Structure 1
Amino acid sequence: MNKEKRRMILERLREANPHPETELEYSSPFELLVAVTLSAQATDVGVNKATRKLFPRANTPQAILDLGLEELREAIKTIGLFNSKANNVYKMCQILVEQHGGEVPENREALEALPGVGRKTANVVLNTAFGWPTIAVDTHIFRVSNRTKFAMGKDVVAVEQKLEKVVPKEFKVDVHHWLILHGRYTCIARKPRCGSCIIEDLCEFKDKTEVE
């Protein structure tokens, strides 16, 4: 895909959604960090359902430590892999209190040192909580980038590196949100909704589908 076509795609996505936001519900960098950690192999809807019960009771690292691991497990038990996620969040809170004064560090290395936090989670937090131009590649973004030929790569790291290279600076803060929402609602996995897609004429996917 050429430079001009990529820019047209980004301009259309921006026009349709000038101020994209994550669908995870949060009111602080810590709440976002917890929500993103819980979202691995789970839906945003499912995470929000759990955090609506958790955050009113405990929405700081110290508050979760005071709540205790068993109560934390109970609060998030509707989410897949809740046992391991609860352990990670609890250990994360211990580190945040002991090493970062109870605050979420605005630092990639420090974030990735936290239990349950990998590159993708760190990218989401840096982008969404702190406004960094990072691009977190999940399964939706990986699919959209390869299917449209916007930024092809054999794995998520390769796609991230390609997106970093080809996305102009003015779009970098928001491109993660545009692509994930596009993959979640339009360029879906099994049968993309090409007929109702605002970038269908620019997309280089060969097997386009009709409107459902």
Structure 2
Amino acid sequence: MNQQKRIEILSRLRDNNPKPTTELEYDTPFQLLIAVILSAQATDVGVNKATRKLFPVAPDAYSMAALGVDGLKQYIKTIGLFNAKAENVIKTCQRLVAEYDGEVPENREVLESLPGVGRKTANVVLNTAFGWPTIAVDTHIFRVSNRTKLAPGKNVNQVEQKLLKVVPAEFKVDVHHWLILHGRYTCIARKPRCGSCIIEDLCEFKDKTSD
């Protein structure tokens, strides 16, 4: 795919959704971090249902750490892998309290050292909470990037590096959200809705549908 086509794709996605954001519900960088940790192999809808009850009770690292692992489990037991996630969240909260006054540091190295936080989660927090031009590649973004040929790669790291290289600066802060939403609602896994896609004529996917 040539760069002119990429820019047109991104321009259309921007025109369609000028101010995109995550579908996870949060009020602070801390709450976003916790929501993203909980969202691994789970849906945003499912996470939001849990955090609507959790965050009013434990809105910050201090109060969440005070819940303890068993206390936290009562709020997140509807989410997949909740046992491991509870352990990681409480350990992360304890570190934030002990080392960073309960605040989420705007630092990639520190974020990636927290329990339950990998590169993708750190990218989401840095992008959504702090406005960094990072691109977290999940299954939706991986699929859209490869299907369209916007930024093909054999794994998420290759796709991330390709996107960082080919996406112009003016689009970098928001491209994560555009691609995730496009993959979630239009370029879906089983049968993409090509017939209702705003970038169908620019997409290089060979097996397009009429949906």
Question: 1:37 corresponds to which residue?
Answer: 37
**Letter matched to residue 126 of structure 1:** L
**Letter matched to residue 150 of structure 1:** L
Superposition pairs of residues 2-151 of structure 1, within 5 angstroms: 2-151=2-151
After TM superposition, give the deviation of residue 67 of structure 1 in Å.
Answer: 1.8
SS in 1 for 2:31: helix
Superposition pairs of residues 154-193 of structure 1, within 5 angstroms: 154-193=154-193
Per-residue Cα deviation, 1:97-154 (whole angstroms, up to 9, x for no partner): 1111110000000000000000000000000000000000000000000000000000
Measure, in 2, the Cα distance between the counterparts of 1:76 and 1:171.
35
Per-residue Cα deviation, 1:7-62 (whole angstroms, up to 9, x for no partner): 00000000000000100000000000000000000000000000001000001111
**Letter matched to residue 65 of structure 2:** L
Measure, in 2, the Cα distance between the counterparts of 1:65 and 1:180.
31
SS in 2 for 1:49: helix
Structure 1: gaps (5+ residues): none
SS in 2 for 1:95: helix
After TM superposition, give the deviation of residue 68 of structure 1 in Å.
Answer: 2.0
**TM-score relative to the length of structure 1:** 0.99
Q: CA RMSD in A?
A: 0.4
Question: 2:194 corresponds to which residue?
Answer: 194
**Letter matched to residue 14 of structure 1:** R
**Letter matched to residue 51 of structure 1:** T
Measure, in 1, the Cα distance between the counterparts of 2:94 and 2:66.
11
After TM superposition, give the deviation of residue 69 of structure 1 in Å.
Answer: 1.7
**Letter matched to residue 103 of structure 1:** E
Percent identity over the alignment?
77
**Letter matched to residue 160 of structure 2:** E
Measure, in 2, the Cα distance between the counterparts of 1:171 and 1:205.
22
SS in 1 for 2:51: helix
Structure 2: gaps (5+ residues): none
**Letter matched to residue 51 of structure 2:** T
SS in 2 for 1:55: helix
**TM-score relative to the length of structure 2:** 0.99
**Letter matched to residue 172 of structure 1:** K
SS in 1 for 2:56: coil
Please identify runs of 4+ aligned residues in structure 1 that moved more than 3 A.
none
**Letter matched to residue 120 of structure 2:** K
